[in-house]
Amino acid sequence: MSLKKEASTGSEVDEKLAALMTNANAIRAITSAVEGTLGPKGLDTMLVDKFGEVVITNDGVTILSMMEANHPAARMLINIARAQQEEVGDGTTTATVMAGTLVASGVEQVVRGVPVARVIEGLRIGLKRALAVMQEHSRPVAGLGDPLIRQAALVAGRNREDIADLVVKAAVLIGEEKLRDISFKFSDAIMAREGAENQVFMGTIINKERMGRQMPKELERVKVLVVDDALEPEQIEGEALRTEAGVARYLELRAEFKENIQKIVDLGVGLVLVDRGVDDAAEEILTDAGVMVIQRVPNKELRKAAEHTGARIIKRTGLKKSAVELGGCLGYAGRVSSNEKLEQVWVLDGGGKPMATVLVGAATAEVVGERERIARDAAASVQAAVRGGVVAGGGSLELAAAREVEKVRESTRGMAAYGVDCVVESLKRPMAQIVANAGFNPLEKLGDVNAVQAETGSYSLAVDCDTGQVADMYELGIIDPAPVKAYALKAAGEVAEAILRIDTIIKKREEKVMFGQDTGQA
């Protein structure tokens, strides 16, 4: 009897562990897809779709977003990486690698018999101390002229000096106050195009061509109208057009619409940006008047142009306003230029908020995407550095934090100490992976760095990936924005805790709907 009971209990334990192991394996598969890209010697990953289209990148969030992942735990990790990208714009690979280590170490402790609740308790204790250490050792930047700003751009920009210089120049144009604005995302100012020349300018780009070649190609000192709607007369239903009154109303609306378009001309508007389509009559009137019209402008670009020119966005009903009222909705641009080669229109020197655009050139279509991703990472890194300062890179601070967390472990009572161990392992992982990707033995190099850090009390020592020697990361210019490091660690902790708390996986039933109601049948 006792044997049967014992066997039953063992079976239940095995089932619980099976769910945990399944999730851990999924996390491991995701981690292995990006860990080889970490560090200055990291390699690229090739992603191929069913049509044979190829993307080559070593950008962590791009790999995670594009790879096929069906397992729920894997998708959880990918979503955390996306959140990291959205919040601070960089550090997704580090967050993923650390999360993978936390989960693997946590599962190992659970298999040894440590209750999940105790592991999670230890994770929280260790992470809290590690985050405090990172905060203590962050170094503020002394304005946009601080050399640390360029180094942050260079490291995040994978040592592309041309991109780092572009990003720093744009940052100076935008200004520190704007970069600190939580609603402003510097990486949105980045754009890459095949055949373009690297440049930074005050203005914004519309990735559309003017409606007709008869419209002006260049404009100076321009009034700008932005319409978040179709530039067309109000529509009348087909049935109504079969009546005399309907036809009369149609002609009346057409006449009123043409008067409104003429009002735009009389106000001296030179550029009209439209969210949707433009009526043929409107196009003809505006073309004859020398107005440049761009239709079907993406909403994001439309709003950026309005913000930069100071225009107030209107709907087509806004065209019924008086000339004085409509004039108050207009924006201003010092210059508008159509670039037929790049199929773009540049709106420069707007009368609204300052806005810099970074145009990154690429030799071929194959590298456009990767150049843009690199530049966006560099921009996000600069903005994060301005907001929260910088820390030494190369995994140096994480390794130093691991030693501090080990001290906390000594004072942690009970089995929660094993959860603290998981945090220690995850903090060692970034440097270990960077060193391995550079072709060195991670066990040997981590031991060397750990010893020298402890001896000198310097938290900025790590491995020079060119020589394999212990070196000061600040002296080498290897730095990371402090917010990126902190967010990566917090994100890793969140996903690890969420995964470790799952001990049962149940497939949801498929709900059958009949006449709009749930039948309740499986």
Q: One digit per residue, pLDDT tens: the chain, 522 residues?
A: 444 444 444 455 466 677 788 888 888 888 888 888 888 888 888 888 877 777 777 777 778 777 777 787 888 888 777 777 777 767 788 888 898 899 999 999 998 899 999 999 999 999 999 999 999 999 999 999 999 999 999 999 988 999 999 999 999 988 999 899 888 889 888 988 888 889 898 899 999 999 989 999 999 999 999 999 999 988 777 666 667 777 788 788 889 999 999 999 999 999 999 999 999 999 999 999 999 999 999 999 999 999 999 999 999 899 999 999 999 999 999 999 998 888 899 999 999 988 888 989 888 877 888 899 899 999 999 999 999 999 999 999 999 999 999 999 988 889 999 999 999 999 999 999 999 999 999 999 999 999 999 999 999 999 999 999 999 999 999 999 999 899 889 988 988 898 888 876 666 676 655 445 554 443
Question: 58-76 b/e with 16+ CB inside 10 Å = b?
Answer: bbbbbbbeeeebebebbeb
Asked if the 144-195+363-388 domain carries CATH number 3.40.50.12780, the reply is no
Nearest C-alpha neighbor of 28 from the set 429, 348, 513: 429
Count of beta carbons in the 10 Å neighbourhood of residue 445: 22
Strand partners, 294: 273
Output the pLDDT for position 311: 96
| Whole-number Å distance between alpha carbons of 16 and 291 | 69
**Start-to-end CA span in the chain (Å):** 37
Backbone φ/ψ region at 515: left (φ over 0), alpha (ψ -120 to 50), beta:
left
Stated pTM of the model: 0.78
CA distances from 502 to 17, 24, 118, 293, 425 (A): 10, 11, 14, 56, 22
- Pair 297, 206: CB distance under 8 Å: yes
Listed in sequence order, the residues at least 6 apart from 330 whose beta carbon sits closer than 8 Å to its beta carbon are 223, 224, 225, 267, 269, 311
- Using DSSP's 3-state secondary structure scheme, residue 205 falls into strand
Output the pLDDT for position 268: 95
| Whole-number Å distance between alpha carbons of 55 and 47 | 5
Query: What are the residue ranges spanned by the domains of the chain?
Result: 12-139+391-500, 144-195+363-388, 202-354
| Whole-number Å distance between alpha carbons of 463 and 472 | 8
| Whole-number Å distance between alpha carbons of 362 and 120 | 47
Listed in sequence order, the residues at least 6 apart from 278 whose beta carbon sits closer than 8 Å to its beta carbon are 211, 230, 231, 232, 293, 295
Output the pLDDT for position 163: 93
The alpha carbon torsion through 109, 112, 114, 117 (nearest 10 deg) reads 50
Question: Domain 202-354 class?
Answer: alpha beta
| C-alpha atoms less than 13 angstroms from C-alpha of 388 in its C-beta half-sphere | 20
| Whole-number Å distance between alpha carbons of 470 and 504 | 46
Output the pLDDT for position 1: 43
Using a 10 angstrom Cβ sphere, with 0-12 exposed, 13-18 middle and 19 or more buried, the burial of residue 279 is middle
Question: Domain 12-139+391-500 class?
Answer: mainly alpha
